[in-house]
Amino acid sequence: MKKFLLLHFAFMLCLISLKAQSYSSATLSNYSSTAITSLSDITEGSRFLVWNNGRNCYIYESSSNQMMQNSMPDISYVLTFDNVTNYGSYVTANIRAASGNLLPDLSKSANVYTSSTKVLYTITMSNNLFQFVSPSGIGLNGNGSNGSGNGSNVIGWTAGNGSNGSFKLYSATIDGDEQSVFNENETYRLCCKSYDGAIGLGAYHNTSILIYYVTGQDVQDEDCWWNIIPDGDAGYIIQNALTGDYLKYVGEYGNTVKYLTTTDDPSTTDALWTFTYDATNEAYYVTNVAQPNYRFNLRTSGSTANLLGCYSNTSKPTNNELFAIYDSNGNLITGTQSSSGGNSGGSETVDVGNFAIYVDSLQFNDKCLIYDNYGNGRYMFSLPQSVRGGGDFTATLKFKNLTNDDISFRIDGQTVSNGGTFTLNNVTCQSAYDLYILVNGTPTRKCSLNFTFMPIVSVNVSSCGTSYYTAGTFHLLDGDAATDDSTYYAKYRHRGATASGKPKKAYAVKMIDENGNSVDRSFLGMRSDNNWILDAAYVDPSRMRNRVSTDLWNDFAHDPYQQAFENKKVSTGTHGQFVEVLLNGTYRGIYCFTEKMDRKQLRLEKTDSVFDIFTDETEVTVRGTLYKTTSWGYEVFMGHNTGSKSYPRTAPSSYRNTSASWCSYEGKYPDVEDGEKFDYGPIWRAVNLVAAGSDQEFVDSFAYYFDKPVLDDYYLFIELLLSTDNHGKNMYYYAYDTNPSTKKLNKGFTEKDKIGVAVWDLDGTWGCRWEGSTNVTNTTNYKKYDTYDDFLWAYEHGQLTYFTRLRELSAFDWENTLANRYAELRRTWFQPDSLCKRFTDYYSLFQESGADSRENTLWSTNISNNISYTTQWIQDRIAYLDEQYGYSESTISLTMPAGGFTTYYSSNALKLPSGLTAGIVTAVTSDEVTIDWLYPEGSVVPAGTGIILKGDAGTYTLVTYAAYSGETAPEGNLLHGSDVAATTTGGTYYYRINNRSNAQTVGFYQANSNAGAFTANAHEAYLALDEYIGTSVLLNKTVLLGDANEDNSVNVSDIVATVNYILGSTSSTFNTTNADINSDNAVNVSDIVGIVNIILGNTTSATSKLESMTEETAIDQLTMQLSSTNKLLMILNNENDFTAFQFDLVLPEGTTLQDASLKRSSGHSVVFAPRGNNRYTILAYSVFNALLPGSMGDLLELTLSNQPLGTITAGDITFSTQSSESHQFSPLTLIIDSTTGVNTAAQSSDSKETLYDLHGRRVRNTNANGIYIENGKKVLK
């Protein structure tokens, strides 16, 4: 205690001394990188660096006592606040500069010089920014009159004058404020924040580099330990614990030494160093005393990777200049005196850092937390999508204890032992949790824990280049995965001509095995492949333009021409999911993990290789080919040189099929660089038509050589996006099959010379240029040009020649084609709100994950601001294109009467609002109207379609669209109408909807006697029939559920009728609507159970364990096997109760079903009937809905006519609970032959594919209609 009082007394003497005189001989030992956010942080004697928010630099006192501004702080920048009084909404204080002088009373527009006069400033705060007002009412202000930013002076100006009059305050510490944190008798490891390792000596690690950054297990070697010894007030000497040599600045620069060497003589200031603490990153930057601009700097890539040198830098330190320092006990050394932890005065003092010296494999729910070295260091973990929006997260914590102590953890006030569970209520990703490690019950170290809703990718690779791959590892943590993914071998290189030059690198990733061989792997519901991309999107301030654009293309574009000959979906755009990436243990931000455009994506035919045994040679036939354009030029523009409007009509340059490229077309498939046979012929012929073909040749052959419907879509696509880099360059072209087989030719394939297009690299879109600027792509500027083509000619080298020729040649009527297609797309995919939602949905994912904040901090961007810019840009762009294409829309009001039905006709198209569905009438009899409900809510009814609408009573607003050329109404519709009042036409007998206010009597009624013609109202849809059906037909027929045979009662005869129907014996009186008890649009064994419940008076089952179908299956395991020569057993092991089942059995040729008997029964009946083609339907049920007894063993024995040989299949398997809920299962297959004997077939669960939504979130329930991702492809459910 005495020692503490003495230290405190000495410290106060220092403060008193410093207030009375300059402390310019002292040094700035550390400062916070996080600004204070409260007036209460300003206390007596507080010291701050003051940052001008408008000029983006610190203010300081010059040698002439003038207040100036600059970017790199030292001791002269520290301002001390004396005589502080806090009044709640403001603070008053004297503000003392480095010399001891004080800030004076201010005059407007006058420079500020310090003086000895005490002046009390009033300090206020708004939006975390502070304002300083002197007694005269004039505020402190940054002046830009003599240059903005560095070097400009500080003046007085009107209080609150914008950003130049607002400041951030950063806490600062000078030497003398605290004791040295280094003990000269201790040894330390210096670990760079860029990636794990420690500074050592290259001589001990088989390298010629003198000062070497050691990684891996070698970091514990003796040469990686250093003494940090104070040398009075001058600084520190740094001595290697193994050799005794000292680090010293040297004026030498080469491949082994870069301004840093070792010496045995530390007597000069070249061997003296200062340590400045960065509190935010919990690390130091180390500066030479003799050369104060030079700091430790670690080379992280290239031929000198892992070399530690000194480099000049007067700006804020970067990660490769920041070093965390640990003592021999593993304690992280911070800017204040290190503590051993424990409690003091009721508050915990613990080290900050990771837990690697205590535990290994720290896991939540069997998935490892990922440690990030960025900043202070933090653990990261990916949460399941199910807890987005404030759900509770429960996890089991596991770890490997590396000590002999009792280890536990504390999070959110909960202490958790190994194997214990904890719950975070309303879990959030937008702020960090404190995670403490407790050693023998005492909090010893803490670390921040950041959650995210995005998957986390960990990339580990020593170095990367653009022309070669480097081996490393890959790990993906998916919050929705059941278990942790493996760490895979992978190879990496930097990708992108522009992207590779940016600080945030993009990566091409190849999955390999331990021997370096390619391996296909699937991630996040996408396809299985060995080639992947980590797209940094650095030039795009939103980080999502390429993904949004490609998603849109995949959704709306016409199917490519080869789709007609492929069973699987052809994708002319890749698929991707957003992730957060760590590189070598350090956070690198938001990336899009994306598929690569290749042969498999486009379903191109593989090259044929046939070995001729007679010639001993392999004949290779190229079929599918893929090309990528990489630069501008005559051949890429297909007819004009870059920036030139001259069209010489000359043939393109010749090509060589052995070359990796032809005129900026790279050969992508086959792999010409690997020596595979290639063919540039298809693309050359297509280019030649466009560049050199006559007008007639172009008209006659364009659709033969190009996939025109897709190219029409592509033009509208890049026009909508105002794409600046995708009208020639950054495109994929392909030929699907240039040498088709005879079989394919016989199927009608004629497109062997046709070229298709695939989209790529769409960052320079949506109001952002290819290099990230908005000065030419903003709405104000592009509106100066009449068309997109004019804009491209003004800024981006010109337009593709085939678009120009399509527009100019009247035979194509291309303007009208585009206008019609635009009108069609504008109603759906090109709706501005829908387009904006694509951006805001992804941004919500970023924001809820906290990823936007991390990205903004790391790369100095502002995603939120750019999303606001982009969504407004979209609204303006659509309005511009609407005017260009003559597109218009309006609204109408429609009233739905109490009966719930009405009709409508319009020569315009209609978009149905929420709550209304519409259909057409396809047939009418005297007692029934057949309606095909084609149009659900939100869909568009084609122009000229008479419809019947249903919904709740009320008033609805419908959007109407003008019809476009070629739009057709559905065929077979008996509803007609007109936009104006007119006499009915189109039939002989006419009926209008009537009694619309009464749900029981609403229907179609004749308007005149004998259903003659009448005058229909404007927009009234009416029935036009060729036969008389009587005076009326009702829409709502009374439904008596269970009355399957329509005898107006529900009894055992309805059970018999339904059993007969299921077994294939139909009756003219069988009513499927009445029989479909559970309304699942199918009549099966579950409906028999429902009919029994109605007869017995049961509305629900009190004894059933399964009250509603969930993801848990009603059956755990169902198998099928032969128990003897001709006995087939169905064996069931079940956890849940059921009462009935049915399935179809298909037997091999020559075998028939003779008998069926239940092995587990409570008075159940089992029946079967042949259905043709060796198929039998088998049904088991109880007229009392009794439960089938037991939970395991034989269920059903089937007697066959003989021992079967071949395949037995049980399909359409349905089990029912007592509450009439059905559950279907995939087929069982049993293959029996004389060679292999009997194989048992098993079915354990539903065989549904995993579905994801458009944000990559796993979908548990697909009751909602929409677009989902299944097997990496978008599907409409």
Q: Quick one: which of 334, 377, 379, 336 has its CA closest to 353?
A: 377
pLDDT value at position 15?
Answer: 31
The H or E element spanning position 7 is helix 2-20
pLDDT value at position 256?
Answer: 92
pLDDT value at position 874?
Answer: 98
The contacts of residue 670 (CB under 8 Å, 6+ apart) are: 607, 622, 625, 676, 677, 678
Looking at the predicted structure, is the pLDDT value of residue 343 above 80?
no
- Condensed to tens digits (0 to 9), the pLDDT of residues 273-312 reads 988 887 777 889 999 988 888 999 998 877 788 999 998 8
Query: How far apart are alpha carbons 1005 and 1008 in whole angstroms?
Result: 9
Question: Of residues 1103 and 160, which shows the higher confidence score?
Answer: 160
pLDDT value at position 1050?
Answer: 84
Looking at the predicted structure, is the pLDDT value of residue 1247 above 60?
no
Amino acid identity at 94 = N
- Condensed to tens digits (0 to 9), the pLDDT of residues 922-948 reads 999 988 899 999 999 999 999 999 999
The H or E element spanning position 701 is helix 695-705
Looking at the predicted structure, is the pLDDT value of residue 514 above 80?
yes
Amino acid identity at 137 = G
Q: Across the chain, what does the average pLDDT equal? A: 86
- Strand pairing partners for 173? 30
pLDDT mean over 97-109: 84
pLDDT value at position 19?
Answer: 31
Confidence of residue 35 (pLDDT cuts 50, 70, 90): confident
**Buried-exposed string 824-847: b where 16+ CB fall within 10 A, e elsewhere:** bbbbebbbbeebbebbeebbbbbb
Look at 80-94, 837-851, 897-911 and tell me which has the smallest mean pLDDT: 80-94
pLDDT mean over 981-1000: 90
Helix, strand, coil fractions of the chain, as percent rounded to 5:
20, 35, 45
pLDDT value at position 891?
Answer: 95
The H or E element spanning position 263 is strand 258-263
pLDDT value at position 101?
Answer: 82
Q: Hey, is 8 helix, strand or coil?
A: helix
Give the number of other Cβ atoms within 10 Å of residue 542's Cβ: 26
pLDDT value at position 347?
Answer: 35
CB 308 within 8 A of CB 298: yes
Confidence of residue 593 (pLDDT cuts 50, 70, 90): very high
Look at 509-523, 928-942, 1057-1071, 1253-1267 and tell me which has the smallest mean pLDDT: 1253-1267
Look at 739-753, 986-1000, 1058-1072 and tell me which has the smallest mean pLDDT: 1058-1072
- Condensed to tens digits (0 to 9), the pLDDT of residues 131-150 reads 999 988 898 888 764 334 45
Question: The whole model's pTM is what?
Answer: 0.61
Look at 292-301, 432-441, 542-551, 1066-1075 and tell me which has the smallest mean pLDDT: 1066-1075
CA 1268 to mean position of chain CA atoms:
13
pLDDT mean over 992-1008: 86
In a 10 Å sphere around its CB, with 0-12 CB exposed, 13-18 middle and 19+ buried, how is residue 1068 labelled? Answer: exposed
Backbone phi, psi, residue 256, to 5° = -115, -25
Q: How far is CA 825 from CA 337, 765, 914, 1224, in A?
A: 66, 19, 20, 38
Q: Quick one: which of 225, 265, 230 has its CA closest to 242?
A: 225
Domains identified in the chain and CATH numbers: 2-174 (2.80.10.50), 188-327 (2.80.10.50), 343-452 (2.60.40), 603-835 (no CATH), 889-1034 (no CATH), 1047-1246 (2.60.40.680)
Query: How far apart are alpha carbons 962 and 301 in whole angstroms?
Result: 60
pLDDT value at position 991?
Answer: 96
Looking at the predicted structure, is the pLDDT value of residue 178 above 70?
no
